[in-house]
Amino acid sequence: MALTIDSTANFAIRVVTGVRVMMSDGVELNVRITRPVAPGRYPAVIEYNPYRKLVAVPSEHRDETVPVIPFLAERGYVIVQYDVRGTGGSSGFSTDMYSEEERRDGYDMVEWCATQDWCTGSVGMIGLSYGAVVQWQVAKQNPPHLKAIVVRSGGVDLASEFASPGGCIRPWLFESYAPRMTASNFSPPDATLAGDRWAGMWQERLSNSAPWGLGFIRNLHEPAYWRSRSLAPDYDHVQCAVLLIEGWADWYATAELNAYQRLSCPRKVLIGPWGHYYPEAREAFPGPRIDGRYEYLRWFDHFLKGVDNGVTNEPPVTVFVRGWKTPALICPQDAGVWRREAKWPPDRVSDTAAYFGNSGTLTETPQEGLETYEYRPAVGLTTGRLGIGSTSPWGMSIDQRLDDAYSVLYDMGPLSDEMELLGEPKVVLFASSTAEVAYFAARLCDVAPDGTSRLVTDGGLLSSRRNSNGYGEVFSPNKVMKIEFTLRHCAYKIERGHRLRVAIASASFQNAWPTGQAAYNTIHRGPRNPSRILLPIAGKGQEGLTPPDFLEPPNPQLAPQSMSTPTYALHHDLIGDSVTCELAAGDVTNGGYNRSTYSISNKDPANTIIEAKCLYRPQHPSFNIQVEANCRTVSDERNYTHQVQVSIKTDGKLFFEKEWTECSPRGLS
């Protein structure tokens, strides 16, 4: 199907920096406006985040971080970008991620744009990651002039998708994100934008800001905290049109497909193979890339300009159906095909039970038996880092056999015919444990005839979180509990002659904080305890709709050898039987870096330690400024503790120093 679109760049554009917009409490937001030079009224599109991206005007108006910004302006839109209060060039201070004041600012900025003499009154939003989540927060408030949003990689339930998937803390929060945002938020505003107010604005931050990691630890067991920042379960509050875009190698494909299923507003969803990038970006690994700018333009043209371009008449679901490719730490091009569907999951998909059987098989009927295994916290060496962690785009999953050696395996096949999975697999376990609490992780793998195992999807659940109301039952001797959890959505075709494998363990080292009690865990099988996986198998001889006709990106993909190589190393202390993950990545632009060590013990699972440091060098015309954030996050049998120290030097002399400590009870984890 050919694209129905006028792709001409009709307008010369200009960038206006240093615009200040005052909020109701007196905080002034730093705003950059990219707009057509020609006078007139245009729809507005808002983009914002706390990542200090608005310091300099890109050469020739080309913004490498958000390449769609000049593209939309050249086609008759005014793009309004701003720094979150207390970050970048905005005044105020920040004590928490997605604060109530910040969420209110989003609403107010939509309405501010609508009243400007350059705006038609129609407003949209676009953004990736943090900039995607904030769109849900604004759309939930339903500002009258918000007509359409483009959500690229946005979670809908921050507790289960961002902070503690499956109920266990996500280590990346404290390896990378907490130290990075602490260093950034305690840095001064851009002096060229703040002018004479620069020192006063910085002092306000130093006096009032707080590291975000304190809030993460403080609210581990506070569902209301995360729910106030999430879309779920308030999908019906969103009334504007929503275009969802995500990648299988990123965090939120499941979140966006779940949102698509639950929203009642006009919506479409596009899931490609990519990691945490816009699909037109040069570093959008894995490919194939597309020029996503035209997808955003068509969406906005229809809902902000009223252009009848047929975008609402097309199939609403587009997915990249992955296939076999030898796993590697970095993957420039994935294998697979594009597919359009009328719904998700498609009607031709049926959930088919595969029971865990004797001799490590997957069977059509339950078979009596059990498998007992020792909980090993280091399982998860091969699953990789999904999303933007310090390793991106190097953190892809590798051959799964290293972890298979410490997992319980159930295999199907070799397959006599290919099998296509479209949807959300579900694992049902009947389990017991010698500990009070255990984590159960499942990996679904595609195993080639030579034994190479590729991760298709995975998931897990803390046993004490099996009830929706939070922490629940504990294991006791001889007690068998039913543990049910879904794996991440997938679209994957397994070839004839390959085997489908389910691997069960009680850790996902790189992506879930280890549980605190040593244990032997048991999977029970049979008619009374039918442990199984439900597979979303597409019917044979039925295909999706006509594949999409995407445009090619304007620039070639980056060559892996041209990219800076991070430190990403796993160290095994054979004597102490502990494993340490070492991460480090440089910030070339500012001469800083972010590095961490994350250590777990197979002998003493309760004791986990993350030591992380971020060095940030904000630019100033007269001073040499260095902001250093050191974070130490640890657990023992009773508590999680997060310690933060900020140290700031100007021209080599100590200018500011402060420390914080936050402790939270471990509870049943």
pLDDT band at 317 (very low <50, low <70, confident <90, very high): very high
In the prediction, which pLDDT does 57 show?
A: 58
In the prediction, which pLDDT does 446 show?
A: 98
Distances 170 to 258, 572, 610, 638 between C-alpha atoms, Å: 21, 21, 12, 18
In the prediction, which pLDDT does 270 show?
A: 98
Please compute the mean of the pLDDT values over residues 182-197 and round it to a whole number.
90
CA 34, 231, 128, 212: dihedral to nearest 10 degrees?
Answer: 100
Q: Compute the distance between CA of residue 15 and CA of residue 20 in angstroms, rounded to an integer.
A: 14
pLDDT at 2 over 50: no
Please compute the mean of the pLDDT values over residues 632-658 and round it to a whole number.
97
| Strands 419-423 and 453-462, bridge-based pairing | unpaired
pLDDT at 99 over 90: yes
pLDDT at 59 over 60: no
pLDDT at 1 over 80: no
203-261, pLDDT tens digit by residue? 999 999 999 999 999 998 888 999 999 999 999 999 999 999 999 999 999 999 999 99
In the prediction, which pLDDT does 586 show?
A: 72
Q: Compute the distance between CA of residue 134 and CA of residue 49 in angstroms, rounded to an integer.
A: 8
For 229, other C-beta atoms within 10 Å of its C-beta total 24
452-463, pLDDT tens digit by residue? 999 999 999 999
In the prediction, which pLDDT does 565 show?
A: 84
**Chain-centroid distance, C-alpha 178:** 15
Please compute the mean of the pLDDT values over residues 362-384 and round it to a whole number.
96
342-359, pLDDT tens digit by residue? 999 999 999 999 999 999
In the prediction, which pLDDT does 542 show?
A: 66
pLDDT at 592 over 90: no
Residue 32's nearest CA partner among 10, 1, 65 is 65
Q: Compute the distance between CA of residue 527 and CA of residue 368 in angstroms, rounded to an integer.
A: 7
Burial of 59 (0-12, 13-18, 19+ CB in 10 A): exposed
CA 80, 81, 87, 91: dihedral to nearest 10 degrees?
Answer: -20
Burial of 25 (0-12, 13-18, 19+ CB in 10 A): exposed
Structure tokens at 574: 């054979």
Q: Compute the distance between CA of residue 242 and CA of residue 240 in angstroms, rounded to an integer.
A: 6
pLDDT band at 65 (very low <50, low <70, confident <90, very high): low
pLDDT band at 383 (very low <50, low <70, confident <90, very high): very high
In the prediction, which pLDDT does 63 show?
A: 55
Please compute the mean of the pLDDT values over residues 363-375 and round it to a whole number.
97
In the prediction, which pLDDT does 526 show?
A: 97
111-132, pLDDT tens digit by residue? 999 999 999 999 999 999 999 9
Percent of the chain with pLDDT over 70: 95
In the prediction, which pLDDT does 587 show?
A: 64
Cα angle: 398, vertex 392, 68; to 5 degrees: 130
| Average model confidence (pLDDT) across the chain | 92
pLDDT at 5 over 60: no
pLDDT band at 562 (very low <50, low <70, confident <90, very high): confident
Please compute the mean of the pLDDT values over residues 402-418 and round it to a whole number.
96
In the prediction, which pLDDT does 563 show?
A: 83
CA atoms within 13 A on the CB side of 163: 22
In the prediction, which pLDDT does 166 show?
A: 93
Please compute the mean of the pLDDT values over residues 322-334 and round it to a whole number.
95
Cα angle: 439, vertex 441, 445; to 5 degrees: 175
pLDDT at 588 over 50: no
pLDDT at 517 over 70: yes
Question: Strand locations in 40-142, DSSP E?
Answer: 42-49, 78-83, 119-128
Q: Residue 182: helix, strand or coil by DSSP?
A: helix
pLDDT band at 105 (very low <50, low <70, confident <90, very high): very high
Cα angle: 255, vertex 260, 262; to 5 degrees: 95
